[in-house]
Amino acid sequence: MEIVVAEQSLFLLPTKVTQDQAKEKAWEQKLNVFGTLSKFLMRPKGEEIQVILLELRYQPFWHAAAHKRFRYDRRSQYQVAAPLDVQAVEIAGQTYTPTAGKFTLPATDHCLLEENREVFLDALTGEAQDLRRYLAFDRITPEDDQLPPDLALVPAEVRASVVIRQVLGDVLQPPSADQLFEQEVVVDRLDLYYRPVYAYEYVWEAKAKRTTVEVDGLTGEFKPTGKSFGSQVGRIFNREVLFDVGAEATNLIIPGGAIAVKLGKAVLDRRKGEKGG
């Protein structure tokens, strides 16, 4: 079996929401971030809660799409009902004798199975999420030497081989095929995106409370469940590890026999190496 994987791409989504706009939204919500009980029972004063810009970070997610196509024949048997007074049925020169008002008709099914799948996965947790809205924003395809020196990238934990397994699904062979005429398994898209997120820390000194929230750097969406990545954030990430689409890596997650993985084009690191020399 052969899996064809298209060229893998890395995209950076520049911010649309400015730091001032994000901080203003965070300031507007500062009385709500410690929960409803704190707001109404403890009645914090606005000046008691301080909003601190913690970081502008870029969080990763995967977008993958694949299609499968199998054309095959399958031997089948069909139970055909016949009136009780019928003693024999002749079909194409073959005679069948009914029993209890039915007879078995052997046949060959000419089958076509096609499937298209698309997934968006959080590259930190592997959780499927509705992230399609981010595809509408401008994107850039940076090389390492083009990235700003202070860019904070959150390292992706989920690798390409895991994403491939998710987008291909469970059916990698035609079911109960006796003769296979056409087999096509293609990962059409395998892209890693980095989207901007502002993280703010709220400090309520009088109650010794702290919490962190996120403001989406593209949509402005306010999310009170954010966290600081602190020392985990950096510019160093290994493309070769992230885009581990070789046969050995894929065999670890796709059980059942040898699988040939054919890359549509070279992985980004290899492309960069060719340019350099």
What is the chain's pLDDT, residue by residue, as a tens digit (277 residues)?
Answer: 678 888 888 899 999 999 888 888 777 666 565 554 344 334 445 556 666 667 888 999 999 999 999 999 999 999 999 999 999 999 999 999 999 999 999 999 999 999 999 999 999 899 999 999 999 999 988 765 566 666 788 888 888 888 988 998 877 777 788 999 999 999 999 999 999 998 887 777 656 566 778 889 999 988 876 565 565 555 545 566 566 665 555 555 555 545 566 655 433 444 445 445 4
Give the model's pLDDT for residue 274.
Answer: 47
Please give the Cα distance from 58 to 10 (Å, whole number): 13
Amino acid sitting at position 232: Q
Query: Are residues 104 and 75 in contact, defined by beta-carbon separation less than 8 angstroms?
Result: no
Please give the Cα distance from 49 to 29 (Å, whole number): 11
Q: Model's pTM, two decimal places?
A: 0.75
Give the model's pLDDT for residue 39.
Answer: 44
